[in-house]
Structure 1
Amino acid sequence: MAKLPPRERILDAAEELFSREGIKAVGVQAIASRADTTKMALYRHFATKDALVEEWLRIVAADYTAVFDRLEEAHPDEPRAQILGIARFIADGLPEISHRGCPFINSIAELPDRTHPARRLIEAHKANQMRQLTDLCARAGLSDPDEAATEITFVLEGAQVSTQNGSVEHAGERLMRIVEAVLDRHSAPKAAR
């Protein structure tokens, strides 16, 4: 089997190491070694480690954005099914992140400078997700789309952190029940509340 080009090997190595060990703990030499290349080759593709971190997070963000696109394609004109699909995606991914956690949450913790390009990328990605979720809640006819999207976001993010720290058992099942309850509560007529 042909070896991947150096840039792709570097990105794969960075993803593996950053996800497993964190951004600050991983040096450029470790990434180059894992990618079976040299530091010089790494710097030919990425001017700085920060540029590599930003590109890695751009790819992770694109993967999450693709979930929204796939769900829209799979469930056109069914915003509730799309919202539940997003929750299912997170719930199903919880075992995978249990050892290290959400790459965005962890990266934000390691990038306290709000002007850092990777930090700005995460913030823009999260803001876009919130807009998309709010739009889905509005299209689902929920009484307060912004509040429903906020509650769902808190549940999705909280489930990831709770899985990482091991404080909640059966987090995926519970996440799904809570998201369904949020949708049901915001779908109920105001007089019934």
Structure 2
Amino acid sequence: MARPDQAVDEAPTFVVGRPARDGGQSPVARRILDVATPLFYGQGIRAVSADVIIEAAEVTKATFYRHFPTKDHLVTSYLLAIVEGERAAVSQWRAQYPDEPGRVLLAYARALIAEVSSPSFRGCPFVNATAEYPDLSNAVRSAVGLHRAWLRDTAAELLAELGVREPQAVAVALIMLRDGAMVAGDGATGWGVSEALLRAGHTLVRVGLDPVVTD
């Protein structure tokens, strides 16, 4: 999955900020996003002002606001870039494991575990954004909602391919496990997050695969 504490290695498929004259990605807008990404994730979105980003990106205020009319426009691009990174990772796993949806789900879980175990882990960027932006009408929350819908639909699609009953319901349960793992971090007692996540996820999928017993 995309690491939100680092600049995304590849440019998002959407155009960040104001497009260049040819309609492509502006290098300046891309640089602003690359600078803002680790700051937003590491310090918190509200804690990082536009002025801090402008100074770090070495651009003028006029340039910044030409690409991002408000700071929330930049925050939305930050979240959408992470969505693109996760989508690219899942597409890669699906290509790597054709007709093996269970292995794709496991690959996502292992990537999540690696992220949670990282010393630089600061929680789920989407959960963090939800806490900082309570207004549901804000564009930032729309980006969060896009990610949630994609997660749910992708998990449900993979579960359906696997033959799980009620894939939408099981997908929601798996996402709840994901959120819990990201909130708990790697400091949980007992087995720890990694073991608990894999075991609980496996149990949910197995129950969904078991035939229904009727009297």
Q: CA deviation at 1:81?
A: 1.1
- Residue identity in the other structure for 2:43: E
Q: How does 1:10-159 map to 2 (within 5 A)?
A: 10-96=32-118, 99-159=121-181
CA contact (8 A) 1:135 1:145 kept: yes
CA contact (8 A) 1:11 1:56 kept: yes
CA contact (8 A) 1:84 1:180 kept: no
Q: Report sequence identity in percent.
A: 32
Q: CA deviation at 1:87?
A: 1.2
Q: CA deviation at 1:41?
A: 2.0
Cα gap change, 1:168/1:29 in structure 2, threshold over 3 Å: closer, same or farther?
A: farther
Distance 1:6 1:20 in 2: 22
- Residue identity in the other structure for 1:81: R
Q: CA deviation at 1:32?
A: 1.2
- Larger fraction in helix: 1
- Equivalent residue for 1:181, pick from 203, 212, 215: 203
1:107-158 Cα shifts (integer Å, max 9, x gaps): 0111111111111111122112101111111110012212221221111111
Distance 1:126 1:144 in 2: 18
Gaps of 5+ in 1: none
CA contact (8 A) 1:143 1:186 kept: yes
Gaps of 5+ in 2: 1-25
Distance 1:99 1:22 in 2: 12
Distance 2:199 2:146 in 1: 28
How many positions carry a matched residue from both structures? Answer: 188
1:76-114 Cα shifts (integer Å, max 9, x gaps): 111111111111121111123764211000001111111
CA contact (8 A) 1:29 1:38 kept: no
> RMSD over aligned Cα, in angstroms?
2.0
Structure 1 counterpart SS, 2:59:
coil
CA contact (8 A) 1:162 1:168 kept: no
CA contact (8 A) 2:151 2:175 kept: no
- Residue identity in the other structure for 2:53: I
1:45-84 Cα shifts (integer Å, max 9, x gaps): 2111111111111101111111221111111111111111
